[in-house]
Chains A and B, each alone.
Chain A
Amino acid sequence: MSKILAYYPGCSLHGTSGEFDASFRATARALDLVLQEIPGWECCGNTAAHSINRLLATALPVNELAKVEQDMKLDGVAVPCAACYSRFKTGAHEVAEDEQTATDVRAVVGRSYNGGVEVDNLIDVYHDAVGLDELKAKVTRPFAGLRVACYYGCLLTRPPKVTLADDPEYPTHMEEVTEALGCEPVDWNYKTDCCGAALALTEQGIVDDLVGRILTDAKACGAQAVIVSCPLCQVNLDGRQVEIAKKDAGWQGIPVVFLSQLVGRALGLDDKALGLKKHLVDITAVMA
């Protein structure tokens, strides 16, 4: 029987990262997962809400969780965007831990959330909801040892009191998923370092420094591609290479691929459905 998960795409997957949305949906179909998009979903509040109005920042994701729990009557939600995932986990954590917060959030949302929804990020969906054995069994076009650097960035594992990640400083679940697809994950230094996130809108010089350091290390450790699970990380790691190449004439581009695209390719899905042509550094060679 198919497993049903609620689906929260978030603003970026409807904006600059349509290929993330498309490839995630395509892989879910191929893996017998039914995704039901939360009707009339709102923004999770992203980076802005928690630095302007703390209560709203907690209430927005909890409102979505209450919809999943009480309107959709589902016990799991897939939140592939790492930043949205973090807001969902944080919101659920805060209402569970603090009674005053729970009371205030109830007043804002208009109902209680009873904690009955598991929040899965992209890696959790493949690693746990589907499972590595099941995933492996459905691979029809395995990679022939493509060397990949798995990049988690900040919010898939931090802070561990919220994410409950096994090893927040050196996670390995994404590596395990890529191995199931026939890739060879490399060990490297920067898998949980920050890419600069939204500073890409205002402090491009800083982001170029941070991205340059991350990608230089990935290449030095032998990676042929960097695998990501966050729309902002993808835009930064891929897009800033245009500027990095201007400052460093010898820069060799490295493809930055969404994990869902990598999974889709190994499942034998059509390139078009995976949006492989939307990247600034060409990824079609490593995905061939």
Chain B
Amino acid sequence: MTTCSPSATLSQRIAAGCDENAFKCYQCKKCTSGCPVARYAGMHPAQIMRAVQLGQVDMVFDDRFIWLCTGCETCTTRCPQGIDIAAIMDELKIMARKQGRIPAGTPSAAMLKLNYDSFVRWGRMWEVELITLDVLKRPSSAKNWFTLGPKMLLKGKINPTLKRGDTQAMKRMVQAAESITRARESRTGEAAPAGDAGGAS
């Protein structure tokens, strides 16, 4: 039988990052019942919450669940304890990325970063760029677009051009947000090994 010694570090970091108290969870599993992706990963939301309470970092970060979470907010809506579970999933994604703990077989993690970089670069997210960069990085993904891509193009459903946003204002806001976040993390001892707030991939 595997035993573990509870450690509050993980839950404390979550509380510092998103102000949510994981200890309020009493394992009713309403989050899991309503979760659209629970069946597709090794862990489900209630198990993630328990692992967080017990400080089981590896259980959380070695599983792909957090990277399948779509942010549909069903768990948050139904939690009888009022825990914003979706916000905890976001915080876990932020921590995993900073610590370089993204497991293999989770292309969604890289896609989120491509998406982030795209709107940071142009002021707006450019859908065509996301798909192109993803295919270059992960050539096997091209087959997903063989049927759908041409059909959408023919229907005029895809607009390949981009009208930029205010890129100067975007740059200024990104720099300010990243620097405030870094300063906060260094105060709470949450500095990433790579020392990069939001920049690591």
Which A residues are within 8 Å of any B CB, using their own CB? 11-12, 14-16, 18, 40-43, 45-56, 59-60, 63, 98, 104, 107-110, 154-155, 158-160, 168-169, 193-194, 196-199, 201-204, 206, 210, 235, 239, 242-243, 246, 277-280
5 nearest CB pairs, A to B: A43-B119, A194-B72, A56-B177, A158-B73, A40-B166
B47 interfacial contact with A, CB 8 Å: no
The answer to whether A42 touches B119, judged by C-beta atoms less than 8 angstroms apart, is yes
User: B173 is contacted by which of A15, A60, A196, A235 (Cβ under 8 Å)?
Assistant: A60
B148 interfacial contact with A, CB 8 Å: yes
B141 interfacial contact with A, CB 8 Å: yes
Q: A43-B170, A206-B68 are in contact. List 16 more A-B contacts (CB 8 A).
A: A11-B125, A14-B159, A15-B125, A15-B162, A42-B119, A47-B71, A48-B112, A51-B93, A51-B94, A52-B94, A55-B180, A154-B74, A196-B36, A235-B157, A239-B151, A242-B151
Q: Using A53-B181, A277-B155 as known contacts, say yes or no to A199 and B108 having CB atoms under 8 A apart.
A: yes
User: How far is it, in angstroms, between the C-alpha of A63 and the C-alpha of B123 when the chains are bound?
Assistant: 13
Which B residues are within 8 Å of any A CB, using their own CB? 17-19, 36-37, 40, 68, 70-74, 76-77, 84, 86, 89-91, 93-94, 97, 107-108, 111-113, 115-116, 119, 123-128, 130-131, 134, 141, 144, 147-148, 151-152, 155-159, 162-163, 165-166, 169-170, 172-174, 176-178, 180-181, 197-198
User: A53 is contacted by which of B127, B155, B165, B198 (Cβ under 8 Å)?
Assistant: B198
The answer to whether B73 touches A40, judged by C-beta atoms less than 8 angstroms apart, is no
User: How far is it, in angstroms, between the C-alpha of A203 and the C-alpha of B111 when the chains are bound?
Assistant: 11
The answer to whether A201 touches B173, judged by C-beta atoms less than 8 angstroms apart, is no
User: B169 is contacted by which of A11, A16, A40 (Cβ under 8 Å)?
Assistant: A40
Who on chain A is nearest to B71 by CB?
A47
User: How far is it, in angstroms, between the C-alpha of A104 and the C-alpha of B181 when the chains are bound?
Assistant: 9
The answer to whether A16 touches B130, judged by C-beta atoms less than 8 angstroms apart, is no
User: B111 is contacted by which of A109, A160, A198 (Cβ under 8 Å)?
Assistant: A198
Task: Report the minimal beta-carbon distance from B132 to chain A, rounded to whole angstroms.
Answer: 12
The answer to whether B141 touches A278, judged by C-beta atoms less than 8 angstroms apart, is no
Who on chain B is nearest to A214 by CB?
B36
The answer to whether B36 touches A210, judged by C-beta atoms less than 8 angstroms apart, is yes
The answer to whether B155 touches A197, judged by C-beta atoms less than 8 angstroms apart, is no
Chain A residues near B107: list those with CB within 8 A: 202-203
User: A16 is contacted by which of B70, B97, B112, B159 (Cβ under 8 Å)?
Assistant: B159
Q: Which of A15, A46, A154 has the most CB of B within 10 A?
A: A15
The answer to whether A49 touches B116, judged by C-beta atoms less than 8 angstroms apart, is yes
Q: Which of B116, B144, B152 has the most CB of A within 10 A?
A: B116
The answer to whether B126 touches A11, judged by C-beta atoms less than 8 angstroms apart, is yes
Chain A residues near B116: list those with CB within 8 A: 48-49, 52-53
